[in-house]
Structure 1
Amino acid sequence: MGYLLRRLRGRHVLPFVLLLTVAGCKWVVLSPSGDIAAQQRDLLIISTVLMLLVIIPVLFLTVFFAWKYRQANREARYDPDWDHSTQLELVIWGAPLLIIIWLGALTWMGTHLLDPYRPIERIDSDTPVAAGTEPLEIEAVALDWKWLFIYPQYGVATVNEIAAPVDRPIRFRLTSSTVMNAFFIPALAGQIYAMPGMETKLHAVINEPGEFGGFSSNYSGAGYSGMKFEFHGVDSQAFDQWIAKVRGGEGTLDRAAYLELEKPSENAPVRYFGATDPSLFDDVVSMCVEPGKLCLRDIHGPHGSAQAAEAHGGEGHHSWAPPDALEYDKTTRRGGPMDAHGTNEAAMDHGSEEEH
């Protein structure tokens, strides 16, 4: 009896487990609700079908030749002197070449038309973006381990929740507070990275109302698995009501509130801020929210570090700013990892630099 159960588990239970696993999957990538994601879905399907035009015949012919020319088949034609067929060579080389050319053309067009930095030109396949339409701007900051969203046009901010009107273009501006992360709403558009000290962009549109999941798709530490948020696709009236609800939130997201919010936390709840500092996002990108920090935009301005040096009344390498103003490693400043002797490694490196 025990032997029979072991046989059943090995041969019959596994297919049912696989079937249940597949049945429980959400095929949101193949059934998106945004036009950009839909176009990316089409590229995925077309590319897969084109590759299967080669793969399926090869798999079929592998089985066919193995069966036809098996040792027991005495009626199979034996032709040891055959070594060339022009027609067969044309098929073997011509078909893959045409597929590669087709795939290359699709890739080139998709790379340019679906560039995340490129403003969208259509709401869907039948509706172009009307002239003069103002996109909804959302500034997204990847924190440890949560997402901060700022609506500069409305002066509000949220944590782990966003909303957007259906059929209105959206322009995301993204950055990170500490380490590289990735922003991904499968129903809306493809993922894009968010990096500290840099700004990336993503343009998209949601075409159907509903609640859609978003998450971090790049490992960023202990609380990475909890970096999830809800994206609400709503009509214009419901969006105005949502903005009004956010305006009744916790108060103003100023520099002090941001620095408190920035501290690492896992599985953070949804939070609303009824007002924001208009320059906060730009300061996050320039890594100078904290008092006394030199903004990267001043260091890397039109005239480089010379501009910053002149602004601070000094000359020479780093002579125009105190060392602390140029220290951007948040982990170190929060008492980061220590070496085997219990000394902060980054602090030792900093001290060595000062000696030189």
Structure 2
Amino acid sequence: MRQTILAVLSLSTLAALLTGCGGDMVLLNSKGPVAEGQSNLMMTAIYLMLLVVIPSALMALWFGWKYRASNKDADYKPTWAHSTAIEVVVWGIPVIIIGILAWLTWWGSHKYDPYRPLESENKPLTVQVIAEQFKWIFIYPEQEIATVNELRFPEKTPLSLRLTSNFTMNSFFIPALGGQIYAMAGMQTHLNLLANETSPADGYRGFSSNYSGYGFSQMHFRAYSVTDAQFAEWVDAIKAGQGTTINPKAIQKPILDQAEFAALRDGNRSKHQIEVLIANAKTPEEKAAAEAMKPYPTKPSPVMYFSTVEKGLFESVINKYMSNYHGADHSATAVEQNAPASEAHVDVEHATASQGE
């Protein structure tokens, strides 16, 4: 009984602390239909499980009180062994709840499939996302611009994201708008989101929710849901090389090409690793190579705007990890010619995976 009371008090205290310290419980304060639906599924599952947890906790307290040693009026049945009514309750109710949860899981996994396009009167905005070493790169192929650590899109317009990674596996997550999805080298994943309203002035919080190394804690970005007019103004400003008029803290650059893309990579090793390499260097060449290394960042990369972007850059990032895939030619030229086929290949892979589910 004492352990049960302590467990209940601990959970209650933890919930209170999380609510007080977290401020806005973003997962329960959704700003889009995807996040709202996922939040409702999560809360429905919690409520169903509480149908077992709460009565069990109350009965544990009540039984401890009723059958305490000092209660001489409690029934004493040392030979009692079975009750059909109790068996029906303790097995029947959980089976029903598990059945309901199983149906909700099946329905929700199809309803909120990240690959499933969202229904809307507005044309989706396509954005290509690259998880670079401790920063996020966003390419707008239709607008022919690119950004680093900043994502802007019109409100009430479906956001069609295509994601990949240029280093280790990462997890793209904007809690206010929807669930996370992985970005992996040599692969393309899809995520469809939508914001019902404009974002606060500081935007929605976006980050990597998958540990990926020493600079992982700096891998943040801001997502802004704006009006159509504000989005068009932002795009025009970047294309004109005047993106800092919208965001004075950003860095405006002319073009994101292969050379600039390579320069965006942050560091070679952690500061500690570089110091160890220098200390353990056996030749002057090894020491010089270690001293030339850049340490991983200790703060998030600044926002950058690019007035234009090299065509096929996103596809080239995917295909450079697939150079020997089925013997195909994945050079930059082949990428531009076979882009539709690449999209079809991704859709077939996803359809196969969905059938497997």
TM tier, shorter chain? 0.7 to 0.9
Q: CA deviation at 1:80?
A: 3.0
Q: Are 1:23 and 2:20 an aligned pair?
A: yes
Once residues 64 and 17 of structure 2 are traced to their aligned partners in structure 1, the CA distance between those partners, rounded to angstroms, is 34
Aligned position for 2:95 = 97
Query: Which amino acid in the other structure matches residue 136 of structure 2?
Result: W
After superposition, the C-alpha distances for 1:262-283 in whole angstroms (9 at most, x for unaligned) are 3435221000001001200000
SS of the equivalent of 2:142 reads coil
**Contact 2:152/2:231 (<8 A) preserved:** yes
- 1:308 Cα deviation after fit: 4.8
Is the aligned partner of 1:245 residue 2:237? yes
Range moving further from structure 2, 255-264 or 210-219: 255-264
Tell me how far 1:77 sits from its aligned partner: 1.4
Say yes or no: does 1:159 pair with 2:148.
Answer: yes
Q: Does 1:299 align with 2:290?
A: no
Shift, 1:286, TM fit = 0.9
Change in CA separation of 1:252 and 1:164 when aligned onto 2, cut-off 3 Å: same
Deviation at 1:22, TM superposition (A): 3.6
Whole-angstrom distance in 2 between the partners of 1:21 and 1:52: 19
Query: Which residue number in structure 1 is paired with residue 205 of structure 2?
Result: 213
CA gap of 1:21–1:308, structure 2 versus 1, over 3 A, is closer
Shift of 1:21: 6.0
Aligned equivalents of 2:168, 2:223: Cα separation in 1: 23
Query: CA 1:89/1:21 → structure 2, altered by over 3 Å: closer, same or farther?
Result: closer
Between structure 1 and structure 2, the one with the greater Rg is 1
Question: 1:224 aligned to 216, 234, 237, which one?
Answer: 216
Please give the per-residue CA displacement for 1:140-172, whole angstroms capped at 9, x wherever unaligned. 111111110000010000000011111101111
Look up the match of 1:313. none
User: What is the Cα deviation at residue 299 of structure 1?
Assistant: 2.7
Give the partner amino acid of 1:286.
N
Aligned pairs for 1:8-87 (under 5 A) are 22-25=19-22, 26-87=24-85
- Equivalence map 1:189-200=2 (5 Å): 189-200=178-189
Q: Following the alignment from structure 1 to structure 2, what is the Cα–Cα distance between the partners of residues 263 and 256?
A: 14
Which of the numbers 217, 228, 235 marks the counterpart of 2:227?
235
Q: CA deviation at 1:57?
A: 0.7
Deviation at 1:18, TM superposition (A): 8.9
Q: Which residue of 1 aligns with 2:316?
A: 283
Query: Which whole-Å deviations, capped at 9, do the CAs of 1:75-102 have from their partners, x for residues lacking one?
Result: 1112234333222221111111110000
After TM superposition, the runs of 4+ consecutive aligned structure 1 residues lying more than 6 A away are 15-18
- Paired residue secondary structure (2:27): coil
Q: Is the 8 A contact 2:173 2:179 kept in 1?
A: yes
1:168 corresponds in structure 2 to 157
Task: Find the counterpart in structure 1 of residue 105 from structure 2.
Answer: 107
Kept in 1, the 8 Å contact 2:19–2:25? The answer is no
Provide the residue aligned with 2:301 in structure 1: 268
Letter in 2 for 1:79: K
**What is the CA–CA distance in structure 1 between the aligned matches of 2:153 and 2:190, rounded to whole Å?**
17
Q: Is the 8 A contact 2:138 2:146 kept in 1?
A: yes
Higher deviation after alignment, 85-94 or 192-201 = 85-94
Unmatched runs of 5 consecutive residues or more in structure 1:
1-14, 122-128, 288-294, 310-356
Question: Which residue pairs with 1:12 in the alignment?
Answer: none
Q: In the superposition, relative to structure 1, how do residues 57 and 224 fare at CA in structure 2: closer, same or farther (>3 Å)?
A: same
Contact 1:177 1:262 in 2 (8 A): no
Secondary structure at the aligned position of 2:107 is classed as helix
1:58 Cα shift?
0.7
Matched residue type, 1:299: N
Which amino acid letter does the alignment assign opposite residue 278 of structure 1?
Answer: K
1:267-314: per-residue Cα shift (whole Å, max 9, x none)?
210000010012000001112xxxxxxx72x532xxx22x559xxxxx
Q: 1:140–1:173: 8 Å Cα contact kept in structure 2?
A: yes
How do 1:132-143 residues align onto structure 2 when only pairs under 5 Å count?
A: 133-143=122-132
**Does 2:184 match 1:184?**
no
Aligned to 1:251, what secondary structure does the other structure show? strand
CA deviation string 1:101-150 (max 9, x = no partner): 000000001111111111123xxxxxxx23xx421011111111111000
Q: What is the rounded CA distance, in whole Å, between the counterparts of 1:184 and 1:85 in structure 2? A: 50
Over 3 Å counting, the alpha-carbon distance change for 1:237 and 1:143 in structure 2 is: same
Equivalences, count:
274
TM-score normalized with structure 1 length:
0.73
Q: Which runs of 5+ in 2 are unaligned?
A: 1-11, 242-251, 268-295, 331-357
Q: Is the 1:184–1:215 contact (alpha carbons within 8 Å) kept by the matching residues of 2?
A: yes
Q: CA deviation at 1:16?
A: 9.9
